[in-house]
Structure 1
Amino acid sequence: MMTPAQIAVSQYLVERGLAYVNRRRETLRFRGNLMCLFGDVPVEITISDWDFIRYPHIRVIERPACLDGVQAHLSALNGLCYFTPGSVLLNRHDPVAAVGQCLAQATVVLNELARDSTYRQGEFIREYLANWDAGQQPPPIPVVKGSIADKTTHMNVTFAEGGEFPFAMFGDDVDQLRSIVVSTGRTLRDRGNNSGWVFHTDRWPPMSEAFPRTVYDLFTWAKAWDPNMYQALQDRLGYDRAYLNMPILFLMIRSPAGWLGLTFDLGDRSQRILGMRKATNYRQRLHRHSREITVTRLSVLDWSPEFVYARNLGLEQKNLFGKRITLIGGGAIGSHVAKALVQMGAGQGKHGRLRIVDHDTMEGGNVSRNLLGYPSLFKFKATELVAELRRLHPTANVEEEVGDVLKVDALFRDDLVIDATGEEALSEAINVRHLTAGVSACPVLYVRIYGQGDAVQALWVDSGRKGACFACLRKNDPQSQREPRFRIGKTDEPQWVMRGCQAVTPYAVSAPMHAAAMASEMVADWLQGNVSPRLRFLERPNADVIHNKNQNPEPLPHCPVCSSPIQASKVG
């Protein structure tokens, strides 16, 4: 039996002149015409999701002549993309209006494609990769991309074998490819570093009614796109004989539209042996038989660290690639900070490294707060956290140092140190060593939880003694008894629970996540060149605390640390 929504939509579509085709469970299918400015267009509309999370599918049954060939918003199977998925919230409470909105937008898109050449060309170029993937049959073969440097000309083509879905993967660092493949539970088969070619162009691909199907099409398409790239391809075919050791040639093109891939068969060894003596002979053969040799398009899935870890910050923002960072503490705060840092690119790049320093082991009381769980009990937090991060992010250079942070050599020679221990006495000791290390020492970020998670606090301290240091967070006159300079709680009574001879502060599981989020935001600000405000507070909703504004506090007069002369110039 049809639902009220299905009945209402059916009546609406029939009134619009569409004919009922069939119903299968929740799916309704109708056919009819969309009245476009250039004439009626026969379409089929299929509605299967009555929550309208997925938009109704509209297929052009017969393309008008003005929409022949590869077109923006039209797949090879004539599916029409009229709304970008997730871009428009349809009214699930008024299904008739929702379907009408889709038909109206579909009509607008078809009119624009048919009548406005500027729109058609602009949309085609803007969505080139989508058109490359869906605009022509047969569809391209998915391949996975690792890192490729800007001037790379040759790449490793590898095959990830085992698992449910084997796949090809390419890049210029085979060790990186292997680490990624192994992390998926597969093994790597490497064809060698000359098994594929890479081309770079700063020109957008041309608009064309068809993508290359043959080597002849490939040559014509590349020449129209970028004559210099076409000439580079011809030069390699004529002089780089190493490619003839392989039966298949892989080509990858880096362009403003993204990565495009193609491959074609070079024939058996008897056909290639002529070119092994003189590569120009084989190039001539390719041109003679170019209309007969089929080209296969490749759809490139980018798994490179450069793409993966830049995605969160945006293409215009900097990430942690190449930065050397030390994180002090692998506990409740530190474990979540470590995860966030790696997801921001820590440990990536030629010199990138994330070091985690902690002397403690996992105990039962840590499990509910830490990123780690039962398998890490009785083991060192730093060691276990590094192992977990390497498992999740196999290309990251993450290392542990188990021991006392105050005995770590050259602690402040990194790009950034983050103190996530939440232990105020230890933080004060780190602060003293930081400010006596000299002006060339790196900045230090202190992040901690107040009370039972009622608030979190973070302070950024530069070695150049700009602004308050960590010791400036407590007053230092004799009458104050070192009370907080920026009071958060309405009482100074510690909120502890005694477990044997150990005092434990209970707090919500969200508190270390809030602290890690605040630390991540300050690190992102640092990457953009301006950490301000340097002192930040984040209060739990409905917490009974004293509100403090985020600010750039000045050094406290007579601070025993930052107002005293620098005792040493050597970076510690």
Structure 2
Amino acid sequence: MGEVLPDLILEMQSRGFTYTGRTPDRWVKFEGPLITTEGVFQCDFTVDPTFFSLPVVKLKELPSTLGPVTPHLGASGWLCYLAPSTVVLDIFDPIGQTLRCLAEAESVLSRVVRGELVQDLAEEFFVHWYSQICVFDVQNLERGDVPAFYVASHGGARTPVITDDIERTVVKINAMQFNPKRFLMLACVVGTTAQPRPSQNNWPPQTVADIINWQRELDKSCAKKIQQRVDEAYKKKRGDTVIFIKSPLLNYGFQVHFDQSVLDEEKLKQARGTERLYSFRVTRLTAIRIDDQYIAQRSIPSMKTLAGLKIALVGCGTIGGYLADMLVKAGAGTAGGNLTLIDFDLLMPENVGRHRLGMPFSFNNKAFGLSVMLQNDAPGISVRGLEVNVRDAHLGDIELLIDATGEEALGHWLAANYASSVPMLSVWVEGPGTAVRALLKCSDNDACYRCLSAHTKVGQFPTVEGGVPHVMAGHGCEGLYVPFPMTVSVQAAALGAEMALAWANGNTSPSLRTKVTDYAYTLASPDCNPPKVEDCPACTS
């Protein structure tokens, strides 16, 4: 910073700014005008000496034309002109990037004063809310009373937990290693049609009075419901209460501490009615969602998840282990759905090098071990492990069968017994990690796994140019196996998970997909839809 500071000062001075020194944390501070199309506004402009963070812009006075709630402006004058995660700062052009930030701040302030950015408040509200966390495990948020409890920390802090199934949520809370000291509390949800916007007066709210006065600016009906609910909770004398406000785009709330008042002890004794009620302190809350639907949907907001589906996965080895994990992360085993894992084999220590399970599960059945691991990682999911040969298993009512065994003969048997009655996805590794492939059969006209084998025998749909090499290891007493690294297993599992999600979203073509994993080879067949073989012994009735 030292070598560019003189040049930065000169550039800022040319724009009417004055260098005023350093802040306690060594940021470089300027005072000067933001020149907008709606007028000139004086501000403090503070620059990060390392140029990794955005300059901070704070107006000395708020524009008089602004209403009680305004986007991008806090009550202290802080101006939100860029989201840090949306821009890449050029540390090799510190002066240029500083001036570009200044120009953006002037542009945003112009639009704020003209009232053009009101909708942005919904996106940035939590920046101004200055809240504590509230753990939220509600599948369908409805208005009215909701079950709740709070977790008391060793230091006395009370973290609220809102749920629609206490038993399920307790399992999750235990897995997250929250303090076991917990107490039931009152909570309710009220609705509003108004988007939350920070007030320019008395912000952030510290008491029930502040909350209600602020809500009156947004939605008088909601403010009335909040006061009614707080009053009801106070009369029940059961400790703190939580009020969550359900707005069109986001949910937010607050916790009322009936044992904490801004009035001194003598005044509190004499206070009655709303004077007493309004005096109680609040903690502003932001929902940290741990509900299964949200966790699965957050990464793929435009897609359906695997929630609510009944899926069976045959083979819990090197591919199936990673695939099971990915399926659960995509929602399998939640919202009334279930995931069934089938494998009769044990996890041996030599398997750990390319298996999702680790050494602690050695000598345990793979399906059992995976079910335990998945329930630990995603408490509350519906997953069961069948420690049997799939030929002896009763799979029940399933909507998708996945074969991750990589065993061709077993794949043919599965196709013969299931492919005509349930969608079937097969995923496997070609050779010693040369490529990974997956085949989806959903209709009578699609090729099954046996059909593809027949096509392959006559040279159709080859995987790579020149053919897949045949390499085996373990020629001693250990037993033969195909050597390939864990990275190939993960790519096979990822391909399987992608096609399972595609199926759930109605995208079943192309049914045969290939990814080359050894780049010494060239893909021979593009992704396509192989035809069904006439008189296939597996899938022809």
Which band: TM-score by shorter chain? 0.7 to 0.9
Alpha-carbon RMSD across the aligned residues, in angstroms, is 3.1
Q: Which aligned pairs between 1:421-460 and structure 2 lie closer than 5 A?
A: 421-435=405-419, 441-460=421-440
Corresponding residue of 1:307: 294
Paired residue for 1:486, among 439, 445, 461? 461
Secondary structure of 1:128 counterpart: helix
1:202 deviates by 5.0
Matching of residues 6-405 of structure 1 within 5 Å:
6=5, 8-22=7-21, 27-37=26-36, 38-50=39-51, 52=52, 54-66=53-65, 70-114=69-113, 116-119=114-117, 121-131=118-128, 133=129, 139-151=130-142, 153-161=144-152, 167-192=159-184, 195-205=186-196, 208-210=199-201, 213-219=206-212, 221-222=214-215, 225-226=218-219, 229=222, 233=226, 244-266=236-258, 286-287=273-274, 289-314=276-301, 316-349=302-335, 351-405=336-390
What is the CA-CA distance between 1:205 and the residue it aligns to?
3.9
Choose the corresponding residue for 1:556, options 530, 533, 541: 533
Which shifted more, 248-257 or 205-214? Answer: 205-214
Contact 1:158 1:190 in 2 (8 A): yes
Normalised by the length of structure 2, the TM-score is 0.87
**Would the aligned equivalents of 2:72 and 2:79 in 1 still touch at CA under 8 Å?**
yes
TM-aligned CA distance change 1:415 to 1:313, over 3 Å: same
The 5 Å alignment of 1:404-553 reads 404-410=389-395, 413-435=397-419, 441-462=421-442, 464-475=443-454, 482=457, 485-489=460-464, 490-491=466-467, 494-501=470-477, 502-540=479-517, 542-553=519-530
Query: Residues 22 and 456 (structure 1 numbering): CA distance in 2 closer, same or farther, change over 3 Å?
Result: same
Change (3 A) 1:112 1:346: same
TM-score by length of 1: 0.83
From the superposition, tell whether residues 420 and 7 of structure 1 become closer, same or farther in structure 2 (CA, over 3 Å).
farther
SS in 2 for 1:474: helix
User: Which consecutive residues of structure 1, in runs of 5 or more, have no partner in the other structure?
Assistant: 134-138, 269-283, 566-572
* Amino acid of the structure 2 residue aligned with 1:485: Q
Alpha-carbon distance, 1:516 to partner: 1.6
Q: CA deviation at 1:105?
A: 0.8
CA–CA distance in structure 1, aligned partners of residues 519 and 177 of structure 2:
46
Number of equivalenced pairs: 524
Query: Structure 1 residues 11 and 231 mapped into 2: Cα distance closer, same or farther (>3 Å)?
Result: closer
Deviates more, 1:510-519 or 1:536-545: 536-545
CA distance in 1, matches of 2:81, 2:518: 41
Residue pair 1:324, 1:354 contacting (<8 A) in 2 also: yes
Unaligned regions of 5+ residues in structure 2, if any?
261-270
Contact 2:258–2:281 at 8 Å: present in 1 too?
Answer: no
**How far off its partner does 1:47 sit?**
0.9
Cα distance in 1 between the residues matched to 2:310 and 2:495: 20
Separation (CA, whole Å) in 1 of partners of 2:429 and 2:337: 29
CA distance in 2, matches of 1:543, 1:20: 60
Q: Which amino acid aligns with 2:385?
A: E
Change (3 A) 1:241 1:428: same
Question: Secondary structure of the residue that 1:504 maps to in structure 2?
Answer: coil
Q: C-alpha distance in 1, partners of 2:235/2:495?
A: 52
